[in-house]
Amino acid sequence: MPPKAIFAAPGDHHTPPPPETRPLAAFRIEDTVSAPTASRNGVVSALRRHPPALIGVAILAGVTLLALLSPLLFPGDPLAITGEPFLWPFASLAHPLGTDSLGRDILAGVAHGARVSLRIGLSATALGLVLGVAAGALAGYKGGWTDAAISRLIEIFQTVPSFVLLVVLVAITQPSAGTLSAAIAIVTWPTVARLARAEFRSLREKDFVLAARSLGYSHTRIIIHEILPNALPPIVVTASVMVASAILMESALSFMGLGDPNVVSWGSMIGQGREYLRSAWYISALPGLAIMLTVLALNLIGDALNEALNPRKRGGRA
Amino acid sequence: MKRHLPRLARIAGHAGLRALPTAIGIVILGFFLLQQAPGDAVDVLSGESGGLSTEAAAALRHHAGLDQPVLSQLAAYLTGLAHGDLGWSARFNVPVTSLILQRLPGSLLLSGTALVVSVLAGAALGALMAAREGSWADRGLSVAALLFYSLPSFWISLMLIVVFSIHLGWLPSGGSQTIGGPEGGLAGLLDHARYMVLPVTSLSLFYIAIYARLVRVAMIEARAQDYVRTARAKGLSESRILIRHILRNALLPLTTVAGMHLGGMLGGGVVVETVYGWPGLGRLAYESVIGRDFRVLLGILLLSSLLVIVANALVDILQGLLDPRVGVSHAA
Amino acid sequence: MSHPALSIPAFAVPHAITPLLEVQDLQVHFGSKPAVRGISFTVHEGETLALVGESGSGKSMTALSVMGLLPDGGRASGTIRFAGRDTSTLSPAARRALRGGEIGMIFQEPMTSLNPVMTIGAQIVEALRQHQPLSRTAAKARALELIDLVRIPDPKRRFQDYPHQLSGGMRQRVMIAMAVACGPRLLIADEPTTALDVTIQAQVLELLDRLRRDLSMAVLLITHDLGVVGQWADRVAVMYAGRKVEEGDPSALFALPLHPYTQGLLRASPRLDDAQHYTQGPLTEIPGSIASAAGQDGCAFAPRCPQAVAACRAAVPSLRILESGRKVACPLAHQD
Tally of domains in chain C: 2
Q: What are phi and psi of C283, to 5 degrees?
A: -75, 90
Reported ipTM: the value is 0.85
- Residue B213: partners with Cβ closer than 8 Å, 6 or more residues away: A7, B126, B142, B145, B149
Residue C295: what pLDDT? 56
In terms of domains, do C193 and C276 share one? yes
Q: From chain A, pick out residues whose CB is under 8 angstroms from the CB of B260.
A: 13
Average confidence (pLDDT) over C121-135:
91
In terms of domains, do C164 and C233 share one? no
In terms of domains, do C189 and C176 share one? no
Q: Is residue C333 part of a domain?
A: no
**pLDDT, greater one: A12 or C249:** C249
Q: CB–CB of C113 and B227 under 8 A?
A: yes
Query: Please, which chains are in contact with B (at least 3 CB pairs closer than 8 A)?
Result: A, C
In terms of domains, do C157 and C192 share one? no
Q: From chain C, pick out residues whose CB is under 8 angstroms from the CB of B249.
A: 115-117
Residue A310: what pLDDT? 66
pLDDT band at B228 (very low <50, low <70, confident <90, very high): very high
In terms of domains, do C220 and C89 share one? yes
CA distance C196 to C189: 14
Percent of chain B surpassing pLDDT 70: 88
Q: A and C: touch, per 3+ CB pairs < 8 A?
A: no
Q: Is residue B98 part of a domain?
A: no
Residue B51: what pLDDT? 60
**pLDDT, greater one: B84 or C4:** B84
Angle between helices A282-309 and A40-48 (to 10 degrees): 120
Average confidence (pLDDT) over B20-37:
85
Q: CB–CB of A270 and B154 under 8 A?
A: yes
Q: Which chain B residue has its CA at the smallest distance from C96's CA?
A: B235
pLDDT band at C13 (very low <50, low <70, confident <90, very high): very low
In the 8-state DSSP scheme, what is residue C294?
A: T
Helix, strand, coil fractions of chain C, as percent rounded to 5:
35, 20, 45
What DSSP string runs through A249-300?
HHHHHHHTT-S-TTS--HHHHHHHHGGGTTT-THHHHHHHHHHHHHHHHHHH
To the nearest whole angstrom, how far is the Cα of B323 from the nearest Cα of chain C? 6
pTM (two decimals):
0.80
In terms of domains, do C235 and C283 share one? yes
Q: Is residue B176 part of a domain?
A: yes
Q: How many Cβ atoms are within 10 Å of C333's Cβ, its own excluded?
A: 21
Largest Cα–Cα separation, chain C? 67
In terms of domains, do C207 and C84 share one? yes
In terms of domains, do C170 and C127 share one? yes
- Residue B228: partners with Cβ closer than 8 Å, 6 or more residues away: B222, B241, B245, B246
In terms of domains, do B282 and B297 share one? no
Beta-carbon-side half-sphere exposure of residue C22 (alpha carbons within 13 Å): 12
Residues of C with CB under 8 A from a CB of B: 67, 69, 96-101, 104-105, 107, 109, 112-119, 126-127, 130-131, 160, 162, 164, 175, 178-179
Q: Which of C112, C164, C178 sits opposite B226 (nearest CB)?
A: C112
Q: CB–CB of B25 and A267 under 8 A?
A: no
Burial call A281-300: b when 16+ CB within 10 Å, e when fewer: bbbbbbbbebbbbbbbbbbb
To the nearest whole angstrom, how far is the Cα of A248 from the nearest Cα of chain B? 6
Residues of B with CB under 8 A from a CB of C: 3, 225-227, 229-237, 244-245, 248-249, 252, 322-325, 328, 332
In terms of domains, do B155 and B47 share one? no
Residue B113: what pLDDT? 92
Q: From chain A, pick out residues whose CB is under 8 angstroms from the CB of B304.
A: 160-161, 164
In terms of domains, do C48 and C140 share one? no
Q: From chain B, pick out residues whose CB is under 8 angstroms from the CB of A274.
A: 158, 275
pLDDT at B65 over 90: no
Q: CB–CB of B230 and C175 under 8 A?
A: yes
Q: Which of B134, B152, B301 sits opposite A168 (nearest CB)?
A: B301
Q: CB–CB of B166 and A288 under 8 A?
A: no
CA distance C179 to C67: 12
Residue B126: what pLDDT? 92
Domain hosting residue B184, numbered range: 104-290
Say if CB C101 and CB C184 are below 8 A apart. yes
Percent of chain B surpassing pLDDT 90: 15
Q: CB–CB of B322 and C117 under 8 A?
A: yes
Q: Is residue C11 part of a domain?
A: no
Q: CB–CB of B155 and A316 under 8 A?
A: no
Q: Which of B232, B249, B325 sits opposite C69 (nearest CB)?
A: B232
Q: What are the CA-CA distances from residue B174 to residues B117, B152, B165, B194, B267 (Å)?
A: 20, 18, 9, 10, 19
Q: Which of C112, C119, C178 sits opposite B225 (nearest CB)?
A: C112
In terms of domains, do B131 and B276 share one? yes
Say if CB A52 and CB A304 are below 8 A apart. yes
Q: CB–CB of B233 and C105 under 8 A?
A: yes
Distance, CA of C320 to chain centre: 23
Q: Is residue B99 part of a domain?
A: no
Average confidence (pLDDT) over C31-45:
88
Residue B134: what pLDDT? 83
Q: Is residue B97 part of a domain?
A: no
Q: Which of B25, B275, B294 sits opposite A152 (nearest CB)?
A: B25
Residue C282: what pLDDT? 47
In terms of domains, do B184 and B277 share one? yes
In terms of domains, do B142 and B50 share one? no
In terms of domains, do B225 and B301 share one? no
Residue A316: what pLDDT? 33
Digit-coded pLDDT (tens) for C251-293: 888 888 888 888 888 877 655 444 444 444 445 556 666 655 5
**pLDDT, greater one: C278 or C330:** C330
Q: CB–CB of B235 and C130 under 8 A?
A: yes
Q: Which chain C residue has its CA at the smallest distance from B245's CA?
A: C115
Residue B42: what pLDDT? 62
Digit-coded pLDDT (tens) for B81-110: 877 777 777 777 788 888 889 889 888 999
In terms of domains, do C228 and C84 share one? yes
Q: Which chain B residue has its CA at the smallest distance from C158's CA?
A: B3
Q: From chain B, pick out residues whose CB is under 8 angstroms from the CB of A165.
A: 301
In terms of domains, do C84 and C217 share one? yes
Per-residue pLDDT of chain A (318 residues; tens, 9 = 90+): 343 333 333 333 333 333 333 333 223 333 333 334 444 556 667 667 778 888 888 888 888 888 888 777 777 777 777 777 766 777 676 667 777 777 677 777 888 888 888 999 999 999 999 999 999 989 988 888 999 999 999 999 988 998 899 999 988 888 888 889 999 999 999 999 999 998 888 888 888 888 887 787 888 888 888 888 888 888 888 898 899 999 999 999 999 888 888 888 888 888 888 888 778 788 888 888 889 999 999 988 888 888 777 655 433 332
Range with the poorest average pLDDT among B135-139, C244-248, C309-313:
C309-313
Tell me the CATH number at C265. 3.40.50.300
Digit-coded pLDDT (tens) for C87-120: 888 888 888 899 988 999 999 888 899 999 999 9
Q: How many Cβ atoms are within 10 Å of B185's Cβ, its own excluded?
A: 9
Size of interface A-B (CB pairs under 8 A): 168
In terms of domains, do B169 and B247 share one? yes
In terms of domains, do C282 and C247 share one? yes
To the nearest whole angstrom, how far is the Cα of B3 from the nearest Cα of chain C? 8
Q: Which of A159, A258, A267 sits opposite B289 (nearest CB)?
A: A258
To the nearest whole angstrom, how far is the Cα of B209 from the nearest Cα of chain C? 27
Query: Please, which chains are in contact with A (at least 3 CB pairs closer than 8 A)?
Result: B
In terms of domains, do B36 and B137 share one? no
Angle between helices B54-64 and B41-48 (to 10 degrees): 140
Q: Is residue C69 part of a domain?
A: yes
pLDDT at C174 over 70: yes
Mean pLDDT over each residue of chain B, to the nearest integer: 83
- Which of the given ranges, A51-60, B192-201, B206-215, has the highest pLDDT on average? B206-215
Domain hosting residue C162, numbered range: 118-181
Q: Is residue B277 part of a domain?
A: yes
Q: How many Cβ atoms are within 10 Å of C31's Cβ, its own excluded?
A: 8
Q: Which of B134, B159, B309 sits opposite A159 (nearest CB)?
A: B309
Q: Which chain B residue has its CA at the smallest distance from A246's CA?
A: B152
Q: Is residue B78 part of a domain?
A: yes
Domains in chain A with CATH codes: 58-82+90-317 (1.10.3720.10)
pLDDT at C7 over 70: no
Average confidence (pLDDT) over B51-74:
70
Q: From chain C, pick out residues whose CB is under 8 angstroms from the CB of B3.
A: 160
In terms of domains, do B296 and B286 share one? no
CA dihedral A33, A38, A40, A44 (to 10 degrees): 180
Average confidence (pLDDT) over B216-237:
91
Q: Is residue C94 part of a domain?
A: yes
To the nearest whole angstrom, how far is the Cα of A225 from the nearest Cα of chain B? 31
Range with the poorest average pLDDT among A81-90, B28-37, C233-242:
A81-90
Tally of domains in chain B: 2
CA distance A286 to B163: 15
